[in-house]
Amino acid sequence: MPTLYLTCGLPGSGKTSLARILEREAPALRLTGDDWMHRLYPGISTADAETGPWRGRVESLQWQVALDALRLQFNVVVDWGVWSRAERDTCREEAHAVGAQVQLCLLDVPFEELWARLRRRNADLPPGTFRIGRDDLARWWSRFESPTPAELALYDPPDSMVKSALDRLRGGGGTPQTGRGNGPTRS
């Protein structure tokens, strides 16, 4: 039975690092929205990616590819962040409908740790990566709907590979943590 791995978290939480591990080790088709955005729309800004039509187009296409791959019995990692309960419910229900297991890979990192990571990343921005400001992160923090224990119970439990990958990220500086911690503070 194929598995859909949904990475869930805000920028800087370690989603893409985890998605790359799962891509290699599951193995799985990795669908990272930001990668496609930069390839299809060179020079796209963070603001355009957030408010323009491009992200919706990319994620819609990626979702169709994901469902096709799952139908063909391939594992898939969707690396979007899935910030809302409604989006997660749709992904879970549609993947189950094509016969896949669904594991939610929650990377729940306190705000100040996210901002510290993003500051470091912004200082030496890798190609194909969006520059993210503190105000962007604060706005997105307020929009993120953290999964409740009741919601988490709707997913298949994380397998040993996911648990191992998360442990390696924690030990290797990727440090996904549990608990939303405190929100943004002014500095």
Residue 24 is part of a domain; what is its CATH number?
A: 3.40.50.300
Predicted local distance difference test score (pLDDT) of residue 172: 55
In the chain, the percentage of residues whose pLDDT exceeds 90 is 84
Using an 8 Å Cβ cutoff, are 26 and 5 in contact? yes
Least reliable range by pLDDT among 41-45, 75-79, 117-121, 180-184: 180-184
How would residue 175 be classed by pLDDT, with cut points 50, 70 and 90?
very low
Number of structural domains (the chain) is 1
d(C-alpha 37, C-alpha 54), whole Å: 7
pLDDT at 184: 52
pLDDT number for residue 80? 94
Residue 9 within a domain: yes
Calculate mean pLDDT across residues 104-121.
Answer: 96
**Per-residue pLDDT tens for 46-95?**
999 988 899 999 999 999 999 999 999 999 999 999 999 999 999 999 99
In the sheet where 101-106 sits, what is the strand order? 29-32, 76-81, 3-8, 101-106
Q: Please tell me what DSSP assigns to residue 156.
A: P
Statement: residue 182 has pLDDT above 70? no
Residue 167 is assigned to a structural domain of this protein: yes
Residue 176's pLDDT band (boundaries 50, 70, 90)?
very low
184 found inside a domain: no
Domain boundaries, position 108? 3-171
Q: Which of 75-84, 135-144, 177-186 has the lowest mean pLDDT?
A: 177-186
What is the average per-residue pLDDT within 118-140? 94
Residue 183 included in any domain: no
Kindly tell me if the per-residue pLDDT of 181 is higher than 50: no
Give a yes or no: residue 31 inside a domain. yes
Examine residue 182 and state whether it is found in any structural domain, yes or no: no
Give the pLDDT band of residue 128 (cuts 50, 70, 90).
confident
Residue 178 lies in a domain: no
Cα 170-175-180 angle, rounded to 5 deg: 130
Band (pLDDT 50/70/90 cuts) for residue 127 is: confident
34 in a structural domain: yes
